[in-house]
Amino acid sequence: MKKTWFDMDRILFKSGTDELKEISDEQITLLAKIFKSYPNKKFKIGGDTDNIGGPI
């Protein structure tokens, strides 16, 4: 299986929430286009978090 990484550096959450910031809209749209272009592929998504806030 080939591993290709895409760095989505503008997918951001409002601090202490699970709500995306508006700046994320463009890259979320691009991700959706990638997923639709390769319907038979599997994707693994990872991310980072901060230590602000509690469990949601």
Q: What digits encode the pLDDT tens for the residues 9-56?
A: 889 988 878 899 999 999 999 999 999 999 998 888 888 777 776 666
Q: Report the predicted TM-score, pTM, of the whole model to 2 decimal places.
A: 0.69
Amino acid at 45: I
Cβ contacts of residue 53 below 8 Å, gap of 6+?
A: 15, 16, 17
- What single string gives the DSSP state of each residue in 1-56? --------TT--B-TTSSPBPGGGHHHHHHHHHHHHH-TT----------S-S---
Q: How far from chain centre, in Å, is Cα 40?
A: 19
pLDDT at 2 over 80: no
